[in-house]
Structure 1
């Protein structure tokens, strides 16, 4: 039988008989085979495309994960240090030794806001009157501090207590002081009229003795013994810390250097917060921004005492003489704050 093939089948590469028979079969069955091939090819490419899409989705998912991880990494770099897992006991407990009319309420407001952000507690002592104590009261104070769940800031107005004396580790002590004369004047009028926030209608100070009267008449409240008030907070519990003398001054300086993480200054409050951020970032990262926000809100103005009658130069001169030791301590603390700022390269 003679096989009839199309002319294109006579190509030299297709001259052998087997090839011709195969081509003839394909030619005759082209419709069925073509359909089958098209279906197979369609299935093949469909599966290939699906595989490609899947791979693309995996790559896309990986890319999203990489992007997310990068973003989280950047966020972590910007976050303050807030984990206390690797900190020692002393770094996770702070005592704020609070002194009247030195800006303590402002600092407490800042710490309360930061505590909500960084999960530390601000604990106020129930005892504000007992500043110097016998041994048993000191032990009770140490116990009360140590029983708190860390991390925390414990605030109390107390003369310095040396925790190691009672077999306890030392917490980090901080405090604030102020220009001695300004503090005394503020305290004098605060006792009589409160402040703007608590007694907004008490601005008439004419009915009570002025600061001049207190100083020039040498009334007990303005005597040398009774204006020696800040140094004992840093000197300690010894009886010698409560009377004006050089030993008390030098002991207070020594404790500031050895046992206080920082003593800030109200007149240098911006610097104080900057140094606290550098020294104790777990608590104070961002403190400067929080402080500025509080000032902008007008809250700090509510803490100010009514100024009363302006003191005379004679009264100021006399009182400065009585505050000589306090001024020496104040200048010492200011100088130390400036040194820390310089060492930490804070602008």
Structure 2
């Protein structure tokens, strides 16, 4: 009985202390849970996969594809803003694209049969053989469809001026020294040229043969022996969806990537394309217009497909249907190129 009153007071204090501590712990747990839920909602909104490591060692091609940022990007659909950017009253917007100096590594992931050999030949004359102020390099054939080793190849060439040319898909590289250019052509005309080139070659190589039974383009297309595709992967990239030129996503991605190219010219306007290249890279491509004028006839004779017969109208129609999205891309590039020419006063 002597300790009853003090013991009761002591026990009450202990009980109150425990209740306060439990309340604090509960509040902390509730706050933590709410924070995690808010974080998850934010991650879902940003389209980020928490399961993917942020900083990992990419050791295999599969790891690279799995962790490629292109596989997580949500590409905006094509709009008038992407088709023809509105520069407002800024009549000198193109001046911001001009790159001075020689330290530029020009990546030319050329679309076949659009004039790429013409550009590389002119580059070799300018700085490959004559005055040793640069190099013209061919991208190895075995790297055309190998994104991991293609990137490694690009990284070996960090100093300019260099022109790296090959029929590889678009592969973005970090570093301001990398500059992308390309040239495209009317999709049907390009496909016809490419097909006959695979059958007959040109003046430099007349022994090429395609693994197709016929060498008649109408029979080849209308009977389904030929499987024409456009050139969207050269601008879309290595994402699996890029290989399907009928996939709307591939068109949207290709158009989105146009902003990463200094210029995409036109085979049908090769004179102006070369003049634009000289305007945008005045130090690297100094004299390229003059070199083209001197060598145009000789190069055309060497690089023109030796046999090319005009197809039937129904063949052309079928090709246009199959490559409808490539035509949409072609029209977008043409409009942009004409805007650039006008701004650079190349008419």
Q: Which of the numbers 204, 210, 220 marks the counterpart of 1:214?
A: 220
Aligned equivalents of 1:342, 1:118: Cα separation in 2: 33
Does the aligned pair in 2 maintain the 1:273–1:284 contact within 8 Å? Answer: no
Aligned mates of 1:138, 1:96 — CA distance in 2: 13
CA distance in 1, matches of 2:320, 2:314: 10
The partner residue of 1:188 within 190, 195, 199 is: 195
Kept after mapping to 2: 8 A contact 1:162/1:170: no
Unaligned runs of 5+ in 2: 1-98
Question: Does structure 2 conserve the Cα–Cα contact (< 8 Å) formed by 1:118 and 1:282?
Answer: no
Corresponding residue of 2:115: 103
User: Contact between 1:159 and 1:237, CA under 8 Å: does it hold in 2?
Assistant: yes
Please provide the CA RMSD for this pair. Answer: 2.3
2:172 corresponds to 1:158? no
Per mean C-alpha deviation after superposition, the further-off stretch among 191-200 and 150-159 is 191-200
Question: Which has the larger helix fraction?
Answer: 1
Distance 1:310 1:156, change over 3 A: closer
TM-score, normalised via structure 1 length: 0.64
Cα offsets for 1:303-337 (capped at 9, x unmatched): 11133432111111111111111111111111111
Q: 1:118 to 1:328 in 2, by over 3 A?
A: farther
Cα distance in 1 between the residues matched to 2:333 and 2:280: 16
Q: Which residue of 1 aligns with 2:135?
A: 121
Which residue is equivalent to 2:67? Answer: none
1:331 matched to 2:331? The reply is: yes
Which residues in structure 2 correspond to 1:183-262 (within 5 Å)?
Answer: 183-199=190-206, 208-219=214-225, 222-223=226-227, 226-228=228-230, 230-244=231-245, 245-257=247-259, 259-262=260-263
Instruction: Measure the CA separation in 2 of the matches of 1:129 and 1:101.
Output: 19
What are the equivalent positions in structure 2 for 1:295-314 lying under 5 Å apart?
A: 295-296=296-297, 298-314=298-314
* SS of match in other structure, 1:227: coil
TM-score by length of 2: 0.64
The total of aligned residue pairs comes to 242
Q: Does 1:265 align with 2:266?
A: yes
Structure 1 residues 332 and 276, CA, compared in 2 at 3 Å: closer, same or farther?
same
- Structure with higher Rg: it is 1
